[in-house]
Amino acid sequence: MEFHHVPVLLKETLELLAVKPDGIYVDCTLGGGGHSEAILKKLEAKGLLIGIDQDKDAINATSQRLAVYGSKFKAVHANYSQLARILAAHDVRGIDGVLFDLGVSSYQLDAGERGFSYMHDAPLDMRMDRSRNTSAKELVNCLSEEELARVIWEYGEERWAKRIAQFIIQKRKQAPIETTGQLVEVIKAAIPAGARREGPHPAKRTFQALRIAVNQELEVLKNTIEQAVHFLHPGGRIAIITFHSLEDRIVKEIFRKLARGCTCPPGFPVCVCGKEPVIDILTKKPVVASPLELKVNPRARSAKLRAAVKR
């Protein structure tokens, strides 16, 4: 399958990044390279874009497609949590912009064998980096009922988390749950019929939760945003596209903290911590897809874009 990617909120992202022709940019989630290619088109010979992805399929396919940009483009197979090491390896001390387009890519969803989608019956995998030891199959078959319920509730915000966890435990006592199809059937059995008739696919939230847990997505995001801001030159910009409320909340809170600076308790008459604001937030409210974009790319409906500029 071709690694094709329709970039979400492309025009808005480029405007907020304000790409400089000779700038150095990092796309922390290269994927199919849609955003990266748009940035590369704006770069002149001295410009550089480093594309990072933990999915080897993405790196291989997109490296070939973007090879026409020559030395302006470098692809790195790694998790973006390794940003500091990656920049050091390329002798880069500061950058002009950084982009995160989070979540699962269209290719990963459409490649049924990767186990990300509840619409395809496939091995229960969900690893973005297939060299990882732990897949969704291990979590589903090895976590305790309490841990399963916690993961499904915390990462999926699924109101039926406890019941789904109970049904998973009952099912796996008979035989291991090995495929996405088997898991979907368990989830459908666990959620009462009335609740299944409303809202999205009954397995959507549980699959999201397992994917986040397998890839440790939220922990990695929390630990990397401030690191990325640290490497920005003054006037450099950070843009982050999220696809669910958990990610968006993390981005909003970290941006607010970096824009506030002072961490003294509200009752203090004067600041004693001495912390200065690091960024100015460019998006008071998140940018969302236009009705026109939603017609062309329905997967953009849950996308939210936030951006900031370094002081």
Architecture of the domain defined by 137-215: Orthogonal Bundle (1.10)
Q: What are the tens digits of pLDDT across the range 108-131?
A: 766 668 899 999 899 999 999 999
CA distance 71 to 60: 17
Q: What are the tens digits of pLDDT across the range 268-289?
A: 899 899 899 999 999 999 999 9
Does pLDDT of 308 surpass 80? yes
Q: How far is CA 142 from the centre of its chain?
A: 25
CATH classification for the domain delimited by 10-107+217-310, as one of 3.40.50.150, 2.20.28.90, 3.40.50.620, 3.40.309.10: 3.40.50.150
| Contact criterion met (CB below 8 Å) for 36 and 60 | no
Q: Output the CA angle 40-13-214, nearest 5 degrees.
A: 95
SS3 labels along 20-88: CCCCEEEECCCCCCHHHHHHHHHCCCCCEEEEEECCHHHHHHHHHHCHHHHHHEEEEECCHHHHHHHHH
The pLDDT score that the predictor gives to residue 65 is: 95
Q: What are the tens digits of pLDDT across the range 239-278?
A: 999 999 999 999 999 999 999 988 888 888 998 998 999 9
The pLDDT score that the predictor gives to residue 172 is: 98
Looking at residues 91-114, what average pLDDT do you find? 85
For the chain, which residues make up each domain, given as ranges? Answer: 10-107+217-310, 137-215
The pLDDT score that the predictor gives to residue 261 is: 84
Same fold, 10-107+217-310 and 137-215: no
